Structure 1
């Protein structure tokens, strides 16, 4: 089970680099877990050595989330053994004992925004005198914890005022304050820009030096090579390999995850939009204070245009303006020849915009609703007369979308909350396509999905363009941008560069960071 596929060519070590791993901080062996007829884990195993940053990767449905839930004591395996530092895992009901062993910082923050940083750090364990909270002691203890672990945050600050990056640091400090020295990071970079990711990686290395061990879960394989020492791959509920990152080429890693050698994306010749083709999008001197200024750009039918930039570049705000979610204070937006009203989602939909938002959890899906309801939210008039929904018509449309997007489900009535991340993202894409858009606008469309789902979604975007729609992809993911005919780069609210297809990574990244490209 530990043999690697193929014959990897060794590369230079890039992670924190423990040549001789210490004792196992966490170990799970011979783990089986089944939900009814679904096998979630089959004889799965992982060993994370003390002081490592160890990556766990695999496609959606590979068993990563189930293993994390077992390693954090949220559920018990059907069989198998879990140990921490060589000692058996605590009883499932002893939550305090689990918190002293392990903590997970999830992609979706568990920080309570209505409370202060200090209250979040010591939630349900505030120092008290009788029934009264000893506030001075609480803030002093919170300051000590934050200082010990190098988190530069005011303990009296409202958590709602923290950005995503600092919320993550507070969650890590909270976990360490319980005594845990094994931290699981679940997609920690999904909503961070390049500079914030570098700061996060710096904190991880600092904490490693203090004896903290990390299990790092990410769909961004480049990050595995940047920060991790060792990588474990799960596929189809089974352990496939564990190997030093430095010994695995990227091709071998992707092959292990997918089970075939065709996982690398190959550039394809796609007909380019002719110069005289009608415009799918025409932006004229668009302004939104604090986000972007004086943006003029066009997208032709059949063309895929990237909007690249860091988190504060204005690219996402510009894309949301086109979709009607933001109201520009100046300039105009025309979609397929129709000038839309500022800040009017209905007008954008009527003009022909299909939209995939940045965060499927908070902006893209209604978790308790079915696939059919989510996929048809943008087309109520096609579902029945006078605001009434014809269930058979809705189901028929949903089935076509499910087939078109290859959504793995039990049927149109299945709640989207039951789906894997990749299939949830396909439902968001299905809704964007339900309106037969003349312009597709997508913000980081492959965030938090597995390699195969990413390939499928990007193929579908190319398919939409080939059918004659214009496409805008706002993203800082280089794989998203590689399919674009050209990439418009934004920095601090301004368009600073435009690059045709075939750009070099270093040139695009330099422009996104406001730097001149290397000679």
Structure 2
């Protein structure tokens, strides 16, 4: 018998690509999903949004057959989902492109495309490569199938994963924070590919914290909050403020601290960070002074050199020329330990691979930059370690059961707060933030940017590198880069139109 929702969809001439009904899932005493549902129609892009911990990841794990709900059911095209053991059945119905890529970097592109699909016959490598090339060509993906996957860009990895899913027969694709590590042009290419695939009957569930993207690429949006379904509505009928209110349960939308509320720095303010004719990967001859209590932002495309400058300041990259100075002391080039000794803290751009050790606890991660100060010869008394973890939880509003909880159990926003706590554990003179709010929800974004404002008020110099305009509102100055050079500089009074026009105008030169 068809459900009422299926009858309504059928009556409207639209089939449901996927549906979850009355889903409840508990982990111990924690209710991850409380009688929620979602209906996704054929050929649409349907957004799923909510704060970290709202239940989005749990729903994805149920929609992809990684775990079963305690109650409720999932259907694809009106047919009950396969049993959990039928992995081929799930792959035929649904695939997920996660924020953390499932591509295996040590294997070639061809091997990744056909992994778990070779059967028990002897593999013909030449035939696999030929079929892989034909497969990618059919989906207009221009990637050399003989390359190791580790050589691919983030954009290319996503395209390979989408092609792999479609080749297995899936017509329903879940995209989990797909733009978190892409620049503007790559995001537009992804959206254009999504529209083309939609025209060919492919359906997307699009999970993102970037609300402007939802209005650009999605037709419907579903909001979860605190493990409950709050609303589902056409995007065209839902204002941004109303959407934010639904996500947070609080009126007023996003509250991001602005630089104007801080006292302005002047030429008499001591210089905390200085770059002297610094050159390196993708940038050259950059000179800059950042004063105590000042927040400087870098904007530009992915090829502008902004990320490379930040990583050079922190010692992750070695400059080819020039110097980095903190409080008039030269920092040893390409040395993270010396950067730490000179009181430079950093929130790197990839929290999963550069910012956290996922198997360790909150306390262990938060204490990484100060271990030598907590105990002799690298031994840290458990009480000292727990104190660091408890302080991080309290200071950065980390939602956790305690300092001994593994960071792998935390939501994305809370993981990013742990990275921030680690960067600030030694009270740095200079704080370098690379995409500090990538992949976090509205409230976590407010919290993290509030920390930036607080750190500046306490006297640290801060460098913010981000693709998100909201992250740059906390800056006293914003520098727009083009091919490794500073092309524009804005003070506190910049507008969205000013900055976007400068970035786009620069990239067209």
Superposition TM-score tier, normalisation by shorter sequence = over 0.9
Q: Please show how residues 118-129 of structure 1 align to structure 2 within 5 Å.
A: 118-126=110-118
1:419 to 410, 429, 440: 410
Query: Which runs of 5 or more structure 2 residues have no equivalent in the other structure?
Result: 1-11
Q: Distance in 1 between matches of 2:198 and 2:464?
A: 36
**Secondary structure at 1:223's aligned position in 2?**
helix
| TM-score for both structures, normalised by structure 2 | 0.94
1:489 CA drift (Å): 1.1
1:366 to 354, 357, 365: 357
1:406 CA drift (Å): 1.3
| TM-score for both structures, normalised by structure 1 | 0.93
Q: Which residue of 2 aligns with 1:58?
A: 50
* RMSD value, Cα: 1.7
Q: Which residue of 1 aligns with 2:17?
A: 25
2:371 to 359, 362, 380: 380
Q: Which residue of 2 aligns with 1:68?
A: 60
CA-to-aligned-CA distance 1:125-179 (integer Å, 9 cap, x gap)? 2377xx4212333233223322222222233333222111111111101101111
1:171 to 154, 157, 161: 161
Does residue 309 of structure 1 match 2:294? no
1:512 CA drift (Å): 2.6
Q: Please show how residues 99-498 of structure 1 align to structure 2 within 5 Å.
A: 99-126=91-118, 131-265=121-255, 268=258, 269-288=261-280, 290-498=281-489
Q: Distance in 2 between matches of 1:117 and 1:256?
A: 41
- Residues 30 and 490 (structure 1), Cα distance of their counterparts in 2 relative to 1, 3 Å cut: same
**Secondary structure at 2:338's aligned position in 1?**
helix
CA-to-aligned-CA distance 1:494-513 (integer Å, 9 cap, x gap)? 11111112212233123334
8 Å contact 1:127–1:134 — kept in the other structure?
A: no
Query: Which runs of 5 or more structure 1 residues have no equivalent in the other structure?
Result: 1-19
Between 440-449 and 152-161, the greater mean CA deviation after superposition: 152-161
Q: Distance in 2 between matches of 1:271 and 1:85?
A: 59
Q: Distance in 1 between matches of 2:62 and 2:125?
A: 36
1:516 CA drift (Å): 8.2
Between 391-400 and 24-33, the greater mean CA deviation after superposition: 391-400
1:21 CA drift (Å): 7.2
1:97 CA drift (Å): 0.7
1:267 CA drift (Å): 5.1
**Secondary structure at 2:104's aligned position in 1?**
coil
**Secondary structure at 2:37's aligned position in 1?**
strand
8 Å contact 2:256–2:473 — kept in the other structure?
A: no
Q: Distance in 2 between matches of 1:115 and 1:380?
A: 36
CA-to-aligned-CA distance 1:181-213 (integer Å, 9 cap, x gap)? 000000101111101001111110110111100
Q: Distance in 1 between matches of 2:124 and 2:379?
A: 57
8 Å contact 1:281–1:298 — kept in the other structure?
A: yes
